[in-house]
Every structure is written in C-alpha cells, then in structure tokens.
Amino acid sequence: MIVEGIVTTLSESGEVNVAPMGPLVDEQLESFVFRPFQTSTTYQNLKARPCGVFHIVDDVLLIAEAALNRMQGTPTTFAAHQIPGRVLADCCRWYEFEVVDFDDKSERTSFSVRVVYQGRLRDMFGFNRAKHAVLEATILATRLHLIPEADVRSQLAALQSPVQKTAGPREQSAFELVQQYVDEWYSKP
C-alpha cells in the first residue's frame, strides 16, 4: 500500500529538505520503500545521510507547496529523537527511519528503510473530499510533462467540484495554487 505524506531529509551541511512522498508501507508501518528520482534532493540527501523522517499530515496546502516548489521557507520543525533529522511541528504522526538497503540501478532508486522511532502530535483531521481532490490535483500537476493538456484540464475540472462543495480556506488556497501552477506551465513557450 502507498501512503502519501511528507519526508524530511538533511543535506550533508544540515539543510532541511521537505518533499512530498508516497512510500510503499507495510500494514504495521514498520518498514517503508521510498522511490525518489535520482535527480531529486531527497535522493541526494538519503545517499549522503541514510536516514530521515516520514510524516503523516492532513495539510494539503503544505503538500501542494512542497510538490510544486512553492514553499515560502521551511516549516517549523524540531529535532528527531533517534536520528539526525527534523520533525514537522504540525504533523499528525511521524516515523523516523534508517536506510537498510537501496537499489539505484534505475532512474527511481528504491530505498528500503526501517522505522526506528515513531511519534504522534495530534489526531488527523479526518476524511474530506476537498483534501482528497487537492491531493489528486497536486499529483496530476507533477505529471504535466506526461499527460496531454486536454486530459489535465478535464481532470482538474472534475476535481474542482468537491473542492467548491467541501473545502476550507487551506484546501481552497491549495487548489488555486495547483491551478496557477498548471496555467503557468502551459503558458510557457
């Protein structure tokens, strides 16, 4: 099963990278497989420092900003307990992990990790159609180079309905961010 969330990793110099990630997870959430592209900062950081923190979050605006490189600075964090890493201060749960194996023979490297510590800050908000729609729209926006524009526009139009009906301010802002990003992408020569 894939669970969408946010991973934080540290560069060799200690700079925090915040990236959306959907690792394969076991049902006990004790081991994950991350599959970042080799061109990503997450890949570079995990190669240099084989550990990080995976976060379960319910803030789709944070996910959209991270996925589309629209973050205004690094979110507030605190020190991880068992690894040299940073925990998002506004996550629901977090899982500190260490890399136990990796395979980088293809463009997407598979990092097998084991959880060494987990923590909980608060309950997840709950299911909301707008949050799911924004998550799907964000994933769609990261694949614009793969999908014809007409299909992207059609899918965004369908996803807009649950956002209009059930979104709060952060979900509305996140969906607007995705739409802006898509418009900018297609307006480039």
Residues 18 and 97 in one domain: yes
Which residue range(s) make up the domain with 173?
129-187
Cα gap 148→127, rounded to integer Å: 30
Give the pLDDT confidence of 137-176 residue by residue, as tens digits.
Answer: 999 999 999 999 999 999 999 999 999 999 999 999 999 9
Apex 60 CA angle, 59 and 65, nearest 5: 110
- Do 94 and 133 belong to one domain? no
CATH code for the domain in which residue 173 is found:
1.20.58.290
Mean pLDDT of the chain: 96
CATH code: domain of residue 82: 2.30.110.10
Number of domain units in the chain: 2
Does 97 lie in the same domain as 22?
Answer: yes
Name the pTM for this structure: 0.93
SS3 168: coil
In tens, the pLDDT along 118-142 reads 999 999 988 899 999 999 999 999 9
Looking at the fold, whether 15 and 32 belong to one and the same domain comes out as yes
**Is 179 strand, coil or helix?**
helix
DSSP string for residues in 62-126: HHHHHHTT--SSPPPEEE-SSSS-EEETT-SEEEEEEEEEEE-SSSB-EEEEEEEEEEE-S----
pLDDT of residue 189: 80
